[in-house]
Amino acid sequence: MNLDLLVAILMTVAGAATPLLIAGLGELVVEKSGVLNLGVEGMMLIGAVTGFAVATSTGIPVLGALAAMGAAAAASMIFAVLVLTLMANQVATGLALTIFGTGVSALIGAPFVGITTPTFGTIFPEALTASPLLRLVFGHSPLVYFGLILTVAVAWFLNRSRAGLILRAVGESDSAAHAIGYPVLKVRYLAILFGGAMAGLAGSYYSLVLTPMWAERLTAGRGWIAIALVVFASWRPGRMLAGAYLFGLVITMELQAKAAGFNMFAPELLAALPYLATIAVLAIISAAKRGGANAPACLGKPFRAAA
């Protein structure tokens, strides 16, 4: 395999993995705080359409990405108010958020169908991307680097910072955390807000970087894959990074194999593989760690302040 091909493959892997990583890290923090938000796909679509609309209107892609984060974070607040303040069921509310995001993004996006947008360039000077190996290091969209930095930041936050410790405590035992005096609802509000912003940013990665356009259901179900990856990663940022890139690698290698003329698998089996693997990982870690699976103990449960 020649170097150019190898670099091209790895670049594609990074491109495919990055939005899943960013949205997944957001959802990971949400779930670590004890909340399950199934609205990732809806928030990604809201982010994708808002990012596209703002970028085409202003001509500045960065503004688009920021607006995408803001709009999706706003949408996540609908979810937060319902499940935290009004203690609504998280599964149902998350599903409703996805349905909402799908519909609203289609309505907002109608005038933006059929046009393209200014996109993010690379951040490094052209000279640094001249050779294949340099391109592999410096030739990516800024969001690819952001994804890597975010992984480190989230890992540090959860494992090393005091705030992260509180967040995990809230996710493991909300009543105990409350008894100690931690603001359970505030922590969860902030976590959901962060998750929303990251989902929005991931959505804008599709409409501004990977496929600079808007069309209904642009993200084609990637939000659900991000949720699956959080579980696959057993709620650890490092494994989230590995999982997202592994997923990107599998997808890319499948396409590469087909392009090279190898069609050895039933494509359906390959498409089902990430989900089967996630179930297998869940089963294995649950078996190894009877009863826990590293899942935050309060995941999905509402919190009532009065104990």
Touching another protein, residues 29-48 (CB under 8 A): 36
Using an 8 Å Cβ cutoff, are 143 and 205 in contact? Answer: yes
To another protein, the closest distance from the beta carbon of 105 in angstroms equals: 8
Touching another protein, residues 198-227 (CB under 8 A): 206, 210-213, 215-220, 222, 224, 227
Stretch that binds another protein, among 74-82, 134-142, 149-157, 181-189 (CB under 8 A): 74-82
Binding mask 96-115 for another protein (x = CB under 8 A): xx-xx-xxx-xx-xx--xxx
Among 83, 167, 191, 202, binds another protein (CB under 8 A): 83
To another protein, the closest distance from the beta carbon of 61 in angstroms equals: 15
Touching another protein, residues 287-306 (CB under 8 A): 287, 290-293, 295-302, 306
What does the alpha-carbon distance between residue 193 and residue 186 come to, in Å, rounded to a whole number?
A: 11
What does the alpha-carbon distance between residue 273 and residue 279 come to, in Å, rounded to a whole number?
A: 10
Compute how many residues bind another protein; rule: CB under 8 A: 89
What does the alpha-carbon distance between residue 249 and residue 251 come to, in Å, rounded to a whole number?
A: 5
To another protein, the closest distance from the beta carbon of 153 in angstroms equals: 25
Residue closest to 168 by CA, chosen among 295, 25, 8, 3? 295
77-88 burial, b if ≥16 CB within 10 A, otherwise e? ebbbebbbeeee
Stretch that binds another protein, among 65-73, 138-146, 179-187, 252-260 (CB under 8 A): 252-260
What does the alpha-carbon distance between residue 30 and residue 171 come to, in Å, rounded to a whole number?
A: 9
What does the alpha-carbon distance between residue 113 and residue 224 come to, in Å, rounded to a whole number?
A: 24
Residue 126 vs residues 139, 140, 145, 208: alpha-carbon distances, Å: 9, 12, 17, 20
Task: CB nearer to another protein: give 181 or 291.
Answer: 291
Contact between 231 and another protein (CB under 8 A)? yes
To another protein, the closest distance from the beta carbon of 227 in angstroms equals: 8
Touching another protein, residues 137-176 (CB under 8 A): none
Binding mask 112-131 for another protein (x = CB under 8 A): -xxxx---------------
What does the alpha-carbon distance between residue 171 and residue 160 come to, in Å, rounded to a whole number?
A: 16
Question: Residue 150, class by beta-carbon neighbours within 10 Å (0-12 exposed, 13-18 middle, 19+ buried)?
Answer: buried
